[in-house]
Amino acid sequence: MTDRTEKVGPSKSRYRVRLLGVRDEGEARRLLKELGCTEQGRRIMVPKMVHRVVRVDHLDSRAANILKQDMLSIGGEVSLPRDVFDYGGRTVSAIISGTMAHFRELIPKLKMQPFGLKDLARELESLLLDKGRRVLRLGGREYDLDERTLVMGIVNVTPDSFSDGGKYFQPERAVEHGLRLVEEGADILDVGGESTRPGSDFIPLEEELRRVIPVLERLVGQVSVPVSVDTTKAEVARRALDLGCAMVNDISAGRLDPGMLPLVASRGVPICLMHMKGMPKDMQLDPRYDDVVGEVMDFLRERAEAAVEAGVKRENIVVDPGIGFGKTLQHNLELLRRLEEFKSLGSPILLGTSRKSFIGMILDLPVEERLEGTAASVALGIAAGADIVRVHDVREMVRVARVADAICGKGAPGERIES
C-alpha cells in the first residue's frame, strides 16, 4: 500500500513577510522614507509605529480610574489592580501601554485632570518626548552621548583592589598605567585610592590623600582626556578638583560626606551617583530586595533630587546602578537585563561590570580570565542604554564599544523625534 501521508514543510508564498523591530521614532521615520512615503505621510504614521509601555507607581486610585478612561477613549490601554474602584483614594500602580500617538493625545488630557494627574502629564512629557542631543560636559569639552559610548579607564592606586590591587600602587606605575590607557583609547580616566571590594574597610582621609594626590599631580597635566576622582570624601574631591580633575565618582552617592554634593555644585562638575546596598564591609552579606530594579531606581532618583537641592545642575548628574555592590548574581543579571529602564531617570548611565564576580560565577573563572565575559556585558550594556562603561581592559573594550555603537546606530545622522 502506498503511504499517502504528505510531508508538511514551509508554505510556499510569493510574499516576503518580516517582523520589524522599531525602537524609536527615528527608526520608524527611516523605514518609511525607504518605503517611499511622503514627508506628510511620515509625519502622520511615525507616532503610530512606536509603542511604549510605562509603569506608574504611587498613583491615587481615583487618578488611576481617570487615567484608564482617558487612555481607553483614545485607543490605548491601562492595566490596574483588580477591584481598584474599592481602593478609596489609596495609592496603586498602573501600566500604561500605547503608541506615541496615544501618549501625545493623552498628555494634554491629563493636564486638565485632578488628583495629581497634571504632574503625571509633565513626567510623561519629559520621559517620552525627545529634547534633542544629550551632551556631557567634562573638562571644558562636550561629549555627545548619542554619538558614541564613552570608555572610562580604571586607575586603582590601591594595594588591595579586587582586580589589580597593588599593581599600580606606586605613583610612577599608576601614572604610566594612566598614560597607557589613554593611548589605548580611554575617553576618561578614573583614579581612586580606596578599595571598595566586598569586605573592605574605608581608609583614613590622610592615607587616601597620600595615595591619590601624587598621581593626580603628575597625571592630570600629561593626559589629553578628562580625569575623574573616585572617592567618597569631599576633601579628597576638593584637592583633586583643585588639581584639574573634571568629575567626581562617588560610590556612596553623596551619603557618606555631607560636604560632597555642595562641593560638586560649587565647582560645576559632573558627579556619578552610584547605588550601593550597605557598605563594602557588609554589602555582600545576604543582600535582599523585593524589586531590585524598582528599589535601585528609587534610590538613584532620591539621590539625584538631593544633588539638585544642593545646587548640582541636573545635566551634571550621572547614575550608576552599582553592579556588584550589595547584589547577588541574580540581582546583577536582572539589573543588566532591564538596564534600559534606567533611561527614565533622565541622566547618563555609567555601567561598571569589568572583571566582576558575577562574571566569575557564570564562567567559573578567576579575575584574570574574565575578559570575554566583560566584553559580553559591555556590549549588551551599550545595547541597553549605557552611556559610559568603566573598564580595566581599555584597548579591548574600546573595540567592543565601537562595534556595539555601530550595531545600535550611534553616530548615525538619523532624524530626531518631533515633540
d(CA 299, CA 105): 31
Number of structural domains in the chain = 2
Last residue of a domain, one of 110, 128, 146: 128
Domain shared by 163 and 105, yes or no: no
Residue 335 burial by Cβ neighbours in a 10 Å radius (0-12, 13-18, 19+): buried
Domain shared by 286 and 163, yes or no: yes
Q: Has residue 21 got a pLDDT over 50? A: yes
d(CA 312, CA 310): 6
Domain shared by 111 and 242, yes or no: no
Of 161-170, 202-211, 280-289, 392-401, the range with the highest mean pLDDT is 392-401
Q: In 94-152, which ranges are continuous DSSP H helix?
A: 100-110, 117-128
**Mean residue pLDDT across the chain:** 90
Yes or no: say if 356 and 366 are a contact pair by the CB < 8 Å rule.
no
Domain that holds residue 229: 135-408
Domain shared by 124 and 141, yes or no: no
Question: Is the model more confident about 385 or about 13?
Answer: 385
- Cα within 13 Å of Cα(21), Cβ side: 1
Report pLDDT for 99: 96
195 — phi, psi (to 5°)? -70, 135
Domain shared by 395 and 360, yes or no: yes
User: Residue 396 is part of a domain; what is its CATH number?
Assistant: 3.20.20.20
Instruction: Note the pLDDT tens digit of each residue in 160-201.
Output: 555 555 465 588 899 999 999 999 999 999 999 988 777 767
Domain shared by 121 and 256, yes or no: no
Domain shared by 70 and 202, yes or no: no
Pick from 382, 384, 376, 381: which is nearest to 405 by CA? 382
Q: Is 220 helix (H, G, I), strand (E, B) or coil?
A: coil
Beta carbons within 8 Å of 245's beta carbon, 6+ residues apart: 191, 216, 220, 226, 227, 228, 229, 237, 269
Q: Has residue 414 got a pLDDT over 70? A: no
Does 122 qualify as catalytic in the annotation?
A: no
The answer to whether position 173 is within a domain reads: yes
Yes or no: say if 300 and 276 are a contact pair by the CB < 8 Å rule.
no
User: Residue 105 is part of a domain; what is its CATH number?
Assistant: 3.30.70
The answer to whether position 399 is within a domain reads: yes
Domain shared by 91 and 143, yes or no: no
Last residue of a domain, one of 128, 157, 173: 128
Domain shared by 223 and 370, yes or no: yes
Last residue of a domain, one of 128, 153, 185: 128
Say which of 356, 370, 399, 416 is annotated catalytic. Answer: 356
The answer to whether position 18 is within a domain reads: no
Report pLDDT for 416: 35
Whole-structure pTM value: 0.88
Domain shared by 67 and 107, yes or no: yes
Domain shared by 181 and 270, yes or no: yes
Q: How far is CA 377 from CA 273, 293, 374, 390, in A?
A: 21, 17, 5, 11
The answer to whether position 187 is within a domain reads: yes
Domain shared by 91 and 179, yes or no: no
d(CA 295, CA 301): 10
Report pLDDT for 9: 55
Beta carbons within 8 Å of 220's beta carbon, 6+ residues apart: 227, 243, 244, 245
Q: Has residue 202 got a pLDDT over 90? A: no
Does 277 qualify as catalytic in the annotation?
A: no
The answer to whether position 69 is within a domain reads: yes
Say which of 68, 233, 239, 390 is annotated catalytic. Answer: 390
The answer to whether position 94 is within a domain reads: yes
Query: Confidence band (pLDDT; 50, 70, 90) for 6?
Result: low
Instruction: Note the pLDDT tens digit of each residue in 367-391.
Output: 999 999 999 999 999 999 999 999 9
The answer to whether position 43 is within a domain reads: no
Yes or no: say if 374 and 355 are a contact pair by the CB < 8 Å rule.
yes
Report pLDDT for 280: 77
